[in-house]
Amino acid sequence: MYLDLSRYQGLIFDMDGTLIDTMPSHLAAWQQAAEHFDIPFDREWIHSMGGMPSPKITLEVNKRYGMNLDPKTVAQKKMAFFAAITDYGELIPATNEILNRYQGEKKIAVGTGSMSQSAMRLLQGRNLLPLLDTVVTACDVENHKPAPDTFLLAAQRLGLSANECVVFEDTELGKKAAHAAGMDCIMVEGDELVFYPL
């Protein structure tokens, strides 16, 4: 599918499931954490919260199952399981093609719900870091997706207004965040990129 991106100055990419196919690895790490803390594991439900930082997902787990888990402890354990996975996913062709095509032509950012350490490891490991003008992680904002803060900060760091940017995402949460930020959104759906205007 041909996307006309000529009206945008900035491209903002989510990372997990958008640039790098890390979702299977994240789900595997969540499954290990669930076993460790004796949490019921609902793969589809956890997947639906892609883009949300691990401590926030733990709060959702507490709400859903009436548990009282410490978000920081669970998140650290889940991140340790994730860090132990050496093959954390391939590059997603559709979005990486765009990333490479507009290299040097448009300003490019990553806006991710991952913690800084994990995001940098993945972006470096896949040689994406040199292609980016800025990276906004869960550590940089207080309100995470579906709040617009991640994408608004990315635009600000690129020196652009919201309407000059387009967001690439793979989750409903991410799409909501993009639209809340006043930006058009292009979703990764299977092998396709689908345009969801504001």
Active site residues: 14
Which SS3 state, helix, strand or coil, does residue 111 take? strand
User: What are the beta bridge partners of residue 109?
Assistant: 12, 134
Nearest-Å Rg of the Cα atoms of the chain is 16
**Cα separation of 169 and 16, whole Å?**
9
CA 63: distance to chain centroid? 23
Determine contact, residues 159/107, Cβ cutoff 8 Å: yes
Tokens of 10: 């900035």
